[in-house]
Every structure is written in C-alpha cells, then in structure tokens.
Structure 1
C-alpha cells in the first residue's frame, strides 16, 4: 500500500471505531508522539501493542469521530513522509455537542506500515471529554 492508501485506511478505521484495525496499521515498533498532548493523554506510545492498548481504552471515552478532514496534504521529498493539516469533526457522546479539533500530523510510513505518527493538535480546539 502507498502511504496515502494507509492514511485513508486509518481514517476509515477511526471513523468506524475499529481500533483493533487502526492499531494493526502500525509497525511492530511503531510510535505515536503527541508533543502538545491534552490532559489525560500520553505524549508518547511505543510499539504496536501499546498503541493497541491505548486505542481500545480510548473507545470508552465519550467521543465519536465523525470525520477526519484533510485541509492540506503535503508530500515530501522523502516518499515515506507525509504531512497533513487536518480537522477532526466529532461529538461528545454524553452531551451530543459537536466539536472540531485542528492539528498538523506527520507520518513516516514504510512498507505499508505506520512507523511514526506525530500529532500536533491544538489543545485549545479539543473539548473536555470527561
């Protein structure tokens, strides 16, 4: 799969709440980094199994991701690296209130697997979902 095909699968798995399949998109030694992590979220997850564990627990949070809208896609001179400017459309499942969260995401995708997912999310756009 190309990096763009992997990213489209990632979008579908997140929207479908298929967190097992989401985790399976990562390499065994894949990493998620969230340098601007909001309260209650880790700033780093190391390895597919840590990503799986976190993702399955996140399914219990009162949030539904309706869509991940790519505002701008940046392909780089390195064919493994893709940068997305993204808006997450979601809703708090407890209150029904919709929200939008903006971010820049950097991916390194090798041989059809996500090696690195670095998420620079604007904490000011993420609602309190507790």
Structure 2
C-alpha cells in the first residue's frame, strides 16, 4: 500500500525534528534524492544542496550538532497545512512551529517545504526555512 502525502510528511517530521535521526531521515529519500535548503546562510552547518542518502545523512548529522533551539515546541499552537498539486507526486507543506521561550515569550518559525515523491520515497525536497539567529553564528 502506497504511503499518503500526510504519512510521508509526518514520518519526515518525526525523523528530522523529533527523533533528530540523520540516518532515518536520509533513508526516507530515494538513493539519488536531493535535499535543498536555499535560505540557509553561507557557512551554515547544513549545506544548501545535498544529493544522495550519504550526503543527506552527513549534512543532517552536521546540522544536528548545532545546539537545538532553546525554546520548547508548543504542539497545541503549532500547525501545518498540506497542499496537493496538479502533479500527484508533488505536495507542499506550510508549517508554523511555535516555541515557548524560557522567559515566557513565544517565537514562531514559519517555513515551506516542497516535496516530490516516488514510490513512497522523497525524490527531492526544497526546504525553505531561515535558521534562528543562534544557528547563524
């Protein structure tokens, strides 16, 4: 049975953001899959473009070494919307992640991800996010 776009997205979130497991994350991609993060600044630990599972795993591992953002995710306030496209292999995720700060404030990180999938694997992912200032070093 083929995975739905929602299932692919939820597995992606779990591997990348919750378990922070670079190998599990890379395994979601086709062998020649491409991950692009066009908005990360030059010199950031996450390369702007990675091709293949080994490169995606290595790039993700380098990014995981960056200390996690110090806010706590507020899952009740955070949200996402998935958009289907005319191409059945392409979907778009709009995400608003709300962080509770230690001082009682809140920060929202908004991002967009464009997925192209084939046979339940990610063929390409364009991840449009801007890292928090603490990650830009």
- TM bracket (short chain): 0.7 to 0.9
What is the aligned residue count? 124
Q: Check the 8 A contact 2:96/2:108 in 1, yes or no.
A: yes
More displaced stretch, 83-92 vs 6-15: 83-92
3-state SS in 2 of match to 1:128: helix
What is the correspondence of 1:1-130 to structure 2 with a 5 Å cutoff? 1-13=3-15, 14-39=17-42, 40=44, 41-63=46-68, 66=73, 69-89=78-98, 99-121=107-129, 123=130, 126-129=132-135, 130=137
Structure 2: runs of 5 or more not aligned: none
**CA-based RMSD:** 2.6
For 2:6 and 2:107, how far apart are their aligned partners in 1? Answer: 26
- What TM-score comes out, normalization by structure 2 length? 0.76
> C-alpha displacement at 1:76, in angstroms?
0.7
The answer to which structure has the higher strand fraction is 1
Larger Rg: 2
